[in-house]
Structure 1
Amino acid sequence: MPAIDFQPHVHDLLWGMSAGELDAGAPDWAREVLAAGQPVVVRRGPAPQGQVAVGVRGRGREQRYASWMPRAALSRRVAPEQLTEAGAGQDAWPALRALAWLAPQLDALGLTWGVTGGAGYQLATGQTVLHGNSDLDLLLRAPQPLERGAAAELLALLDRGLCRVDLQLETPAGAIALREWAGPAPQVLLKTHAGPRLVRDPWQEVAA
């Protein structure tokens, strides 16, 4: 199968990786996940030429395994932005009820956002990974700076949800937690492909 011509982004779900492409030290549960045809999640980090840094997700929070997927193996991609309406009618879990409540309000703000974490994985695969205490994980594409006052207003909206909502701002330089950017700290933790670092301006690649 020819390689798909696209640039995977962090949090995308990718199908096509086989259990045989895991390294020899991979746990049995990770091999079982891939043998069942489940996707991997693009993670933040360096990758060898022709590969993508990914993580295999198991049933529990303790089941996470970092690996690399050959680009040539990619057969399907689902981005977080494609899952914003996928939870309609799926109200069994607080995280999905929170998503249904927030989605029209985030859309009305004209934001480019998506669903990640357990909710995104469940919506994309149909595999039940959520529980009653699950958080709702979201991302917001932020190619341009977001004023900290606007961040605080957005956080206030999210905190009115039915469960804890964690939102990551994806800037050109990396990702920061909205909750942190909405606060008063002069420096915030920026997650980059080279690792985390403290910066004053998350839209610049110059460390503070």
Structure 2
Amino acid sequence: MHPIPRPHDLLWGMSLAHLPADAPEWARQVLSAGQPVVVRRAMVATGQIAVGLRGASRDQRYASVMPASGIMRSVRPEQLVESLPSRDLPALRALALLKSSLDGLGLRWGVTGSVGFQLATGLAVAHADSDLDLLLRTPVELSRADACELQLLLDGAPCRVDMQLETPSGAVALRDWASESARVLLKSHAGARLVNDPWQLRELAA
């Protein structure tokens, strides 16, 4: 039994039969090669999972769905930082440098984006100019002061680091929450909206 998929999880098991007839050829090649898909935020029918496929270039991104029953294997972002490979890229060096401090937060965190995909598959999709994309699971509010301190830590890394705070209602960029902006963009399965407090469920329900 696989855990309920969350955004940014990598899933194996999507087949060619799950793709619509007008899917691009590169997407078919990705599945034929046994590569995983990534869970995305979207409203889909019960029993289905919103996923995204990635190709060899940045413009090769394709949104689709797959049945939950088709999942053969799943990997969450936090599993990808349990052990790290050699630090041959700035993003990997940044990950190694930040690991101890992020572990010390006492919150679950992980790596997403091209670096996460490379760690999960072994495919060399990250490059010297790749950003490091991270997520931090924040079931309770992270104060603005703590967010500023954390953003300063990330800004000292050898490459650009972008972190998403995963709240119970969706995700918000750490950089936004650490800023002086009164409202921040919250991304959820229902779409994106500006909110004052991404942890305030009463506001989100309004």
Shorter-chain TM-score tier: over 0.9
**2:173 pairs with 1:159:** no
Matched residue count: 204
Could you tell me how far apart the structure 1 residues matched to 2:22 and 2:194 are?
33
**What value does the CA root-mean-square deviation take over the aligned residues?**
1.2
* Counterpart residue number, 1:15: 12
Displacement of 1:158:
0.5
Identity of aligned residues (%): 60
Q: After TM superposition, where is structure 1 displaced by more than 4 Å over at least 4 residues in a row?
A: none
Partner Cα separation in structure 2 for residue 101 and residue 85 of structure 1: 14
Is residue 66 of structure 1 aligned with residue 45 of structure 2?
Answer: no
State the alpha-carbon separation in 1 of the partners of residues 92 and 66 from structure 2. Answer: 30
* Number of the residue aligned with 2:176: 180
Q: Is the CA contact (8 Å cut-off) linking 2:54 and 2:60 kept in structure 1? A: yes
Equivalent position to 1:169, from 165, 169, 173: 165
Q: Given the alignment, which residue of 123, 126, 142 partners 1:127?
A: 123
Gaps of 5+ in 1: none
The one-letter code of the counterpart of 2:131 is D
Match of residue 44 from structure 1: 41
The residue correspondences of 1:13-162 to structure 2 (distance < 5 A) are 13-88=10-85, 90-162=86-158
CA–CA separation in structure 2 for the residues paired with 1:199 and 1:107:
29
The one-character-per-residue Cα deviations of 1:152-192 (angstroms, maximum 9, x if unpaired) are 00000001101000000000111000000000010000001
Q: Give the letter for the 1:155 counterpart.
A: Q
Give structure 2 stretches of 5+ with no counterpart. none
Paired with 1:142 and 1:73, the residues of 2 have a C-alpha distance of: 29
Letter matched to residue 52 of structure 1: I
Using the alignment, how far apart are the partners of 1:134 and 1:66 within structure 2?
Answer: 22
Inter-partner Cα distance in structure 2 for 1:189 and 1:82: 27
